[in-house]
Amino acid sequence: MRRLLVLLVALAWPSGLAAQASIFGIRGPGLPGRPYSARAVSTSGSFALFDPESSLGPGSLGYVGVAAGTFTMVGDYRSVTTNAGSDKLSSTRFPQTMVTTPFLNGKFVAGLSASLYTNRDYAIVIVDTTTIFDQQVVQLDSIGSRGSLSDFRFAVAYRGLRQTTVGGGVHFISGAARQTIVRRFISDSGFASVVQRAEVAGSGIGLSIGA
């Protein structure tokens, strides 16, 4: 009876939800990537920690039986409507690539992967007023960023234990984002536009273990 009630609640849940955003996509390192295989993506990442083709749980590499290479492609299609008009956006990414192989009579499995750690692609337009020489001027600020951080992981799992696999991984994180800020004074063409560009790079090393 309880399972039936949960199913009815899920079916009655609203089909359309408001879009979500995060301040970490702009002020922090970026929106988290999805280092999932195609199978894990199809279940919204619900079992990615136990998926040997995803870059989350190093212990899950123990499920690999033969040498294999995989990659994931994700297509993003969006429509945006603002006061300035409407537009359709699309992008294609390859957030996960992995090569795995057993060795030492199959007791160990090694995996090398490259995945998207965080994404820092965004664009913001702000209209405001400012005072210049005792004159109110309407300004338009365009703030944009293009870049990401990548996670390169080397992991090894041991599956010689009874009904248990253990593993560990080393992560090398690196990437950069190119940021641009443009200020235009749209109410008075006598003021020149201001353009500022910067490049923010990041790198780090991490460790992961799993069983």
From CA 57, how far away is CA 64, in angstroms rounded?
Answer: 13
Per-residue confidence at 125, pLDDT binned at 50, 70, 90?
confident
Q: What is the pLDDT of residue 19?
A: 46
Report d(CA 51, CA 38) in Å as an integer: 10
Share of the chain above pLDDT 90, in %: 31
Q: What is the dihedral of CA 72, 60, 32, 81, to 10 degrees?
A: 50
- Quick: pLDDT tens for 75-108: 777 787 766 678 787 777 788 899 999 999 889 9
Q: Tell which wins on pLDDT, 19 or 103.
A: 103
**Is the Cβ–Cβ distance between 177 and 120 less than 8 Å?**
yes
Distance CA 175, CA 168 (A): 23
* DSSP one-letter string for 65-106: -S-EEEEEEEEEEEEEEETTEEEEEEEEEEEEEEEEEEETTT
Mean pLDDT is highest, among 27-31, 58-62, 77-81, 187-191, for 58-62
